[in-house]
Amino acid sequence: MRKNKSSKDWIIQQHRDQYFKQAKSAGFRSRSAYKLLELNKKFNFFKNCKTAIDLGSYPGGWSQILKKSLKNCKILSVDIKKMKKIEGVDFLLCDFRKEESKEKILKELNDKADLLVSDMAADTTGNKDLDCIRTNALCAEVIEFSSSIIKENGVVISKVFNGTDFLNVKNLAKNKFHKVNFFKPESSRDYSKETYVHCSGIKTL
Ligand SMILES: C[S@@+](CC[C@H](N)C(=O)[O-])C[C@H]1O[C@@H](n2cnc3c(N)ncnc32)[C@H](O)[C@@H]1O
Protein backbone atom coordinates (compact mmCIF):
# COMPACT_ATOMS: atom_id res chain seq x y z
CA MET A 1 0.00 0.00 0.00
CA ARG A 2 2.70 2.39 1.15
CA LYS A 3 4.91 1.40 -1.80
CA ASN A 4 2.08 2.18 -4.26
CA LYS A 5 1.51 5.60 -2.73
CA SER A 6 5.17 6.54 -2.94
CA SER A 7 5.54 5.33 -6.54
CA LYS A 8 2.42 7.37 -7.45
CA ASP A 9 3.96 10.40 -5.74
CA TRP A 10 7.20 9.78 -7.64
CA ILE A 11 5.36 9.74 -11.00
CA ILE A 12 3.51 12.97 -10.14
CA GLN A 13 6.76 14.62 -9.07
CA GLN A 14 8.58 13.54 -12.26
CA HIS A 15 5.76 14.89 -14.39
CA ARG A 16 5.81 18.23 -12.55
CA ASP A 17 9.58 18.50 -12.74
CA GLN A 18 9.63 17.81 -16.49
CA TYR A 19 7.34 20.78 -17.27
CA PHE A 20 8.89 22.94 -14.57
CA LYS A 21 12.39 22.48 -16.08
CA GLN A 22 11.07 23.00 -19.60
CA ALA A 23 9.30 26.24 -18.56
CA LYS A 24 12.36 27.50 -16.71
CA SER A 25 14.71 26.99 -19.64
CA ALA A 26 12.20 28.59 -22.07
CA GLY A 27 11.91 31.63 -19.78
CA PHE A 28 8.23 31.05 -18.94
CA ARG A 29 7.07 32.13 -15.51
CA SER A 30 4.96 29.02 -14.97
CA ARG A 31 4.70 25.48 -16.25
CA SER A 32 1.01 26.30 -16.89
CA ALA A 33 2.23 28.12 -20.01
CA TYR A 34 2.31 24.71 -21.73
CA LYS A 35 -1.34 24.11 -20.88
CA LEU A 36 -2.39 27.20 -22.85
CA LEU A 37 -0.21 26.14 -25.81
CA GLU A 38 -1.83 22.71 -25.79
CA LEU A 39 -5.31 24.19 -25.47
CA ASN A 40 -4.68 26.40 -28.48
CA LYS A 41 -3.29 23.47 -30.47
CA LYS A 42 -6.54 21.64 -29.77
CA PHE A 43 -9.03 24.52 -30.38
CA ASN A 44 -7.08 27.08 -32.45
CA PHE A 45 -8.42 30.21 -30.74
CA PHE A 46 -5.32 32.43 -31.22
CA LYS A 47 -6.25 32.97 -34.87
CA ASN A 48 -7.42 36.54 -35.62
CA CYS A 49 -7.46 37.47 -31.94
CA LYS A 50 -7.22 41.24 -31.46
CA THR A 51 -8.40 41.59 -27.83
CA ALA A 52 -7.67 39.04 -25.11
CA ILE A 53 -8.28 38.90 -21.35
CA ASP A 54 -6.25 36.67 -19.02
CA LEU A 55 -8.00 36.13 -15.68
CA GLY A 56 -5.87 34.79 -12.82
CA SER A 57 -2.72 35.73 -14.69
CA TYR A 58 -0.10 35.68 -11.90
CA PRO A 59 2.82 34.86 -12.18
CA GLY A 60 2.36 35.42 -15.92
CA GLY A 61 2.99 32.24 -17.92
CA TRP A 62 -0.26 32.48 -19.89
CA SER A 63 0.19 36.22 -20.44
CA GLN A 64 3.68 35.53 -21.83
CA ILE A 65 2.23 32.99 -24.26
CA LEU A 66 -0.53 35.41 -25.32
CA LYS A 67 1.99 38.20 -25.90
CA LYS A 68 4.27 35.90 -27.90
CA SER A 69 1.51 34.34 -30.01
CA LEU A 70 -0.85 37.25 -30.70
CA LYS A 71 0.33 40.05 -32.97
CA ASN A 72 -1.25 43.51 -32.64
CA CYS A 73 -3.50 42.27 -29.89
CA LYS A 74 -4.59 44.18 -26.79
CA ILE A 75 -3.97 41.95 -23.80
CA LEU A 76 -5.47 42.67 -20.39
CA SER A 77 -4.34 40.50 -17.48
CA VAL A 78 -6.05 40.40 -14.09
CA ASP A 79 -5.09 38.93 -10.72
CA ILE A 80 -5.42 39.55 -6.99
CA LYS A 81 -1.66 39.10 -6.81
CA LYS A 82 0.60 41.70 -8.39
CA MET A 83 2.08 40.41 -11.65
CA LYS A 84 5.53 41.58 -12.71
CA LYS A 85 5.34 43.73 -15.85
CA ILE A 86 5.26 42.04 -19.26
CA GLU A 87 5.95 44.51 -22.07
CA GLY A 88 2.80 45.06 -24.14
CA VAL A 89 0.46 43.55 -21.54
CA ASP A 90 -1.86 45.70 -19.39
CA PHE A 91 -2.48 44.54 -15.87
CA LEU A 92 -5.29 45.11 -13.36
CA LEU A 93 -4.72 44.21 -9.72
CA CYS A 94 -8.16 43.24 -8.43
CA ASP A 95 -10.49 40.53 -7.24
CA PHE A 96 -12.43 39.37 -10.29
CA ARG A 97 -15.48 38.44 -8.17
CA LYS A 98 -16.16 42.07 -7.24
CA GLU A 99 -18.64 43.99 -9.38
CA GLU A 100 -16.31 47.02 -9.48
CA SER A 101 -13.54 44.79 -10.95
CA LYS A 102 -15.81 43.67 -13.77
CA GLU A 103 -16.66 47.31 -14.42
CA LYS A 104 -12.95 48.17 -14.50
CA ILE A 105 -12.27 45.38 -17.01
CA LEU A 106 -15.10 46.58 -19.26
CA LYS A 107 -13.84 50.15 -19.01
CA GLU A 108 -10.25 49.15 -19.79
CA LEU A 109 -11.18 47.62 -23.14
CA ASN A 110 -12.24 49.74 -26.09
CA ASP A 111 -14.00 46.82 -27.67
CA LYS A 112 -15.43 43.47 -26.63
CA ALA A 113 -12.88 40.66 -26.45
CA ASP A 114 -12.20 37.89 -28.96
CA LEU A 115 -10.75 35.70 -26.26
CA LEU A 116 -11.29 35.30 -22.51
CA VAL A 117 -8.98 32.83 -20.79
CA SER A 118 -9.12 32.00 -17.11
CA ASP A 119 -6.74 29.84 -15.13
CA MET A 120 -8.14 31.18 -11.84
CA ALA A 121 -8.02 28.79 -8.94
CA ALA A 122 -9.18 29.46 -5.40
CA ASP A 123 -6.55 29.15 -2.67
CA THR A 124 -6.30 25.59 -1.43
CA THR A 125 -7.75 24.88 2.01
CA GLY A 126 -6.76 21.23 2.42
CA ASN A 127 -10.40 20.22 1.85
CA LYS A 128 -10.50 18.96 -1.76
CA ASP A 129 -14.29 19.22 -2.11
CA LEU A 130 -14.33 22.78 -0.84
CA ASP A 131 -11.42 23.74 -3.17
CA CYS A 132 -13.32 22.23 -6.06
CA ILE A 133 -16.54 24.11 -5.21
CA ARG A 134 -14.67 27.43 -4.89
CA THR A 135 -12.71 27.08 -8.15
CA ASN A 136 -15.82 25.92 -10.01
CA ALA A 137 -17.69 28.95 -8.64
CA LEU A 138 -14.98 31.14 -10.22
CA CYS A 139 -15.43 29.30 -13.51
CA ALA A 140 -19.21 29.84 -13.34
CA GLU A 141 -18.61 33.57 -12.80
CA VAL A 142 -16.31 33.68 -15.83
CA ILE A 143 -19.01 32.08 -17.98
CA GLU A 144 -21.66 34.50 -16.64
CA PHE A 145 -19.38 37.49 -17.28
CA SER A 146 -18.58 36.35 -20.81
CA SER A 147 -22.01 37.56 -22.06
CA SER A 148 -21.04 41.17 -21.37
CA ILE A 149 -17.38 41.01 -22.40
CA ILE A 150 -16.85 38.76 -25.42
CA LYS A 151 -17.84 39.24 -29.06
CA GLU A 152 -20.50 37.04 -30.66
CA ASN A 153 -17.81 34.84 -32.21
CA GLY A 154 -15.57 35.07 -29.12
CA VAL A 155 -14.07 32.16 -27.23
CA VAL A 156 -13.90 31.35 -23.50
CA ILE A 157 -11.36 28.98 -21.96
CA SER A 158 -11.58 28.33 -18.24
CA LYS A 159 -10.14 26.03 -15.65
CA VAL A 160 -12.75 23.81 -14.03
CA PHE A 161 -12.49 20.81 -11.70
CA ASN A 162 -14.16 17.58 -12.66
CA GLY A 163 -15.70 17.12 -9.21
CA THR A 164 -18.38 18.74 -7.05
CA ASP A 165 -20.48 21.25 -9.04
CA PHE A 166 -18.88 20.25 -12.37
CA LEU A 167 -22.27 19.39 -13.88
CA ASN A 168 -23.71 22.75 -12.82
CA VAL A 169 -20.86 24.54 -14.59
CA LYS A 170 -21.28 22.34 -17.68
CA ASN A 171 -25.03 23.08 -17.81
CA LEU A 172 -24.44 26.79 -17.36
CA ALA A 173 -21.93 26.76 -20.24
CA LYS A 174 -24.40 24.85 -22.44
CA ASN A 175 -27.11 27.39 -21.69
CA LYS A 176 -24.85 30.24 -22.77
CA PHE A 177 -22.93 28.72 -25.70
CA HIS A 178 -23.70 26.57 -28.73
CA LYS A 179 -20.39 24.69 -28.50
CA VAL A 180 -18.95 23.44 -25.20
CA ASN A 181 -15.97 21.06 -24.99
CA PHE A 182 -13.64 19.90 -22.26
CA PHE A 183 -9.95 19.16 -22.61
CA LYS A 184 -7.28 18.14 -20.14
CA PRO A 185 -3.82 19.09 -21.46
CA GLU A 186 -0.99 16.57 -21.24
CA SER A 187 0.95 19.08 -19.14
CA SER A 188 -1.89 18.90 -16.57
CA ARG A 189 -2.01 15.12 -16.49
CA ASP A 190 -1.52 14.33 -12.83
CA TYR A 191 -3.99 13.06 -10.30
CA SER A 192 -5.79 16.41 -9.94
CA LYS A 193 -9.31 16.90 -11.27
CA GLU A 194 -8.25 19.95 -13.26
CA THR A 195 -9.59 20.23 -16.77
CA TYR A 196 -10.50 23.15 -19.09
CA VAL A 197 -13.76 24.14 -20.69
CA HIS A 198 -13.76 25.63 -24.21
CA CYS A 199 -16.91 27.61 -25.09
CA SER A 200 -17.73 29.20 -28.43
CA GLY A 201 -20.78 30.45 -30.32
CA ILE A 202 -22.41 32.57 -27.62
CA LYS A 203 -26.20 32.35 -27.63
CA THR A 204 -27.86 35.70 -28.19
CA LEU A 205 -31.42 36.49 -27.15
C1 LIG B 1 -2.93 28.66 -11.30
S2 LIG B 1 -2.63 30.35 -10.99
C3 LIG B 1 -2.55 31.02 -12.62
C4 LIG B 1 -1.25 30.73 -13.34
C5 LIG B 1 -1.13 31.53 -14.63
N6 LIG B 1 -2.08 31.10 -15.62
C7 LIG B 1 0.25 31.42 -15.22
O8 LIG B 1 0.40 30.77 -16.26
O9 LIG B 1 1.19 32.01 -14.66
C10 LIG B 1 -4.21 30.89 -10.45
C11 LIG B 1 -4.30 32.38 -10.16
O12 LIG B 1 -5.67 32.73 -9.96
C13 LIG B 1 -5.66 33.88 -9.14
N14 LIG B 1 -7.01 34.14 -8.58
C15 LIG B 1 -7.71 33.33 -7.77
N16 LIG B 1 -8.87 33.93 -7.43
C17 LIG B 1 -8.91 35.14 -8.08
C18 LIG B 1 -9.85 36.20 -8.12
N19 LIG B 1 -11.00 36.15 -7.44
N20 LIG B 1 -9.55 37.29 -8.88
C21 LIG B 1 -8.39 37.36 -9.56
N22 LIG B 1 -7.46 36.37 -9.55
C23 LIG B 1 -7.71 35.27 -8.83
C24 LIG B 1 -4.62 33.53 -8.07
O25 LIG B 1 -4.17 34.70 -7.41
C26 LIG B 1 -3.55 32.83 -8.90
O27 LIG B 1 -2.51 33.71 -9.24
Rounded to the nearest angstrom, the distance between the alpha carbon of 7 and the centre of ligand 1 is: 30
Residue 194: C-alpha distances to residues 52, 160, 190 (Å): 22, 6, 9
**Topology (CATH) of 2-202:** Rossmann fold (3.40.50)
- Protein residue whose Cα sits closest to atom 13 of ligand 1: 56
**pLDDT, tens digit, for every residue of 77-131?**
999 999 999 999 999 999 999 999 999 999 999 789 999 999 999 999 999 899 9
* Alpha-carbon gap, residue 66 to 29, rounded angstroms: 13
159 assigned to active site: yes
Q: Is 30 in the pocket of ligand 1 (CB under 6 A)?
A: yes
pTM (predicted TM-score): 0.93
| CA separation for the pair 66, 70 (Å, rounded) | 6
**CB of 56 closer than 6 A to ligand 1?**
yes
Catalytic residue among 35, 67, 159, 170: 159
The answer to whether the Cα torsion of 52, 195, 95, 19 is positive or negative is: negative
Cα–Cα distance measured from residue 180 to residue 202, given in angstroms and rounded to the nearest whole number: 10
Ligand 1 binding pocket includes 59 (Cβ within 6 Å) = yes
Supply the pLDDT for residue 1: 40
